[in-house]
Amino acid sequence: MAVKTEQNLDFNKNEDVNKTLLTQLQFKLGKVEEGGGKKNIEKQKSKGKLLARERIKYLLDSDRPSIEVGALTADDMYSEYGGCPSAGVVVMIGYISGRQCIVVANDATVKAGAWFPMTAKKNLRAQEISIENKLPIVYLVDSAGVFLPMQDEIFPDKEHFGRIFRNNAVMSSKGIIQIAAIMGSCVAGGAYLPIMSDEAMIVDKTGSIFLAGSYLVKAAIGEEIDNETLGGASTHCEISGVTDNKFKSDEDCLDYIKKLFDKIGAFDKAGFDRVEPSLPKKDQTELYGVLPAEREKPYEMLDIIERLVDDSAFEQYKPLYGKTIICGMGRIDGWAVGIVANQRKVVKSKKGEMQFGGVIYSDSADKATRFIMNCNQRKIPLVFLQDVTGFMVGSRSEHGGIIKDGAKMVNAMSNSVVPKFTIVVGNSYGAGNYAMCGKAYDPRLIAAWPSAQIAVMGGSQAAKVLLQIQVSSLKSQGKEISPEDESNLLKEITDRYNSQTSPYYAASRLWVDAIIDPADTRKWISMGIEMADHSPIEKQYNVGVIQT
């Protein structure tokens, strides 16, 4: 396998392509950080308010790492309304006064912080992370409430706006710390979020909270009153008692939150094993050159793993069996992990038969099932490195029981009680996405590299299937299809399908929590296990009924 010291053409080509993908990612993230644009930023500043990202930066410890969840949510969506960068809300996992937490901040420069459907989904994801890991959560509220033109897509269903407040109540019952700061508008149903938290504070003159603003009050009952008198800081701190403390500025309010976190007591831990961290011996920056520029090209997944684990030390489980999945133990930033990774090079089976890389065969599914069970028994978190095209098809595989073996792997993974973390390195197709702990299987965090592709099947295969269906439909209508027409149709279908396999399409819809720089993979996994350590394992591992 090519490595950087050889400086061969393949490595350089791979590095150029993957670094170009990374540059594209950084450009997109830079645009997202502009929020609702210069005009809206200036409007926010003129009121003496910090921007959402400035509030988070001020609040979090500057000497500790942080990761952003859902930065690309709603990317290229809601164009008919002018777009909604980052879904109008910023979600960050970091540290306040040394205590790990998750912070949710409305971005009032984006449609006045109004809630779009993806805003609700992103807030629910933040609460899900808090609930699963018993992680303290801070809400920095500055929102005009539901975006009315899309109210039918955000208001009444189980995973819509109201679920937020149901979660507030459930989190409180579980003893999960919830702190809220009202730093701008907080209206209608959204008013319940901060008041269902443990402690709610408000910034004087800029913060306000009420079920209905002054215009609606006049329309509903004829009362004339201004918003400050109706629901400002003085009203709620001195008359109603709805909020607990008022502050003269954003900074004063955030300083108070820091003081609260400085006094939080110790928590019960899950007890995942950690030793003194060490860096991989193999250079992490070589990841860009190791990963092939062409997604179909085989490569050695161990070259990836050895640039992610401490000391590049990795102990394989059953290395001579089920070779299209690599399983083994290592450490990431000191944390013990069990890694399940798709092997992308062509290998020989135990019977000497050639097996395609990136495909899950019966023997590899059987190996992964056993390894997942072992990690659960030993209380070792699982890391899935996805580059999978699916399960093997054909008469030999079907007769050999591939469906049964795949089901065993899915069963063992689905019922895992140890935390799971998923990194989509390359392909993530079909049932392979499921077996390798895709979003539907509750990974604590799931991130994609810029090279990722997520779909029910690969673009070329899917396009040919879709072409056959469309051509048959046109012919049944009596239309003649020339070879040139068929070629143009195939290109149109392929382009459309490929746009939907993009990691940005997945990130926009929160199928992944983020697209990340491969060099940040260790940080994501380490911070993920640290937050999972807040939540002791309370149930026994049981896979239920499993066919043998």
pLDDT in tens, 220-235: 898 888 888 888 999 9
Say which residue, 226 or 88, is predicted with more confidence.
88
Confidence of residue 4 (pLDDT cuts 50, 70, 90): very low
pLDDT at 296: 83
| Per-residue pLDDT tens over the stretch 169-210 | 999 999 999 999 999 998 877 788 999 999 999 999 999 999
What is the chain's mean pLDDT, rounded?
91
pLDDT at 461: 64
Q: With 90 as the cut, is the pLDDT of residue 418 above it? A: yes
What 302-308 contacts at long range (C-beta under 8 Å, 24+ apart), as own/partner pairs, is 302/326, 303/1, 303/3, 304/341, 304/385, 304/425, 305/330, 305/339, 305/341, 305/385, 306/280, 306/281, 306/282, 307/280, 307/282, 307/283, 308/280, 308/284, 308/332, 308/521, 308/522
Q: With 60 as the cut, is the pLDDT of residue 396 above it? A: yes
pLDDT at 488: 72
pLDDT at 51: 98
Confidence of residue 401 (pLDDT cuts 50, 70, 90): confident
pLDDT at 460: 62
Q: With 90 as the cut, is the pLDDT of residue 477 above it? A: no
Mean pLDDT on 29-57: 96
Mean pLDDT on 139-143: 96
pLDDT at 466: 65
pLDDT at 481: 74
pLDDT at 2: 45
Q: What is the pTM of this model?
A: 0.93
pLDDT at 1: 45
505: which 2 tokens? 């399409």
What sign for the dihedral angle of Cα 532, 537, 541, 544? negative
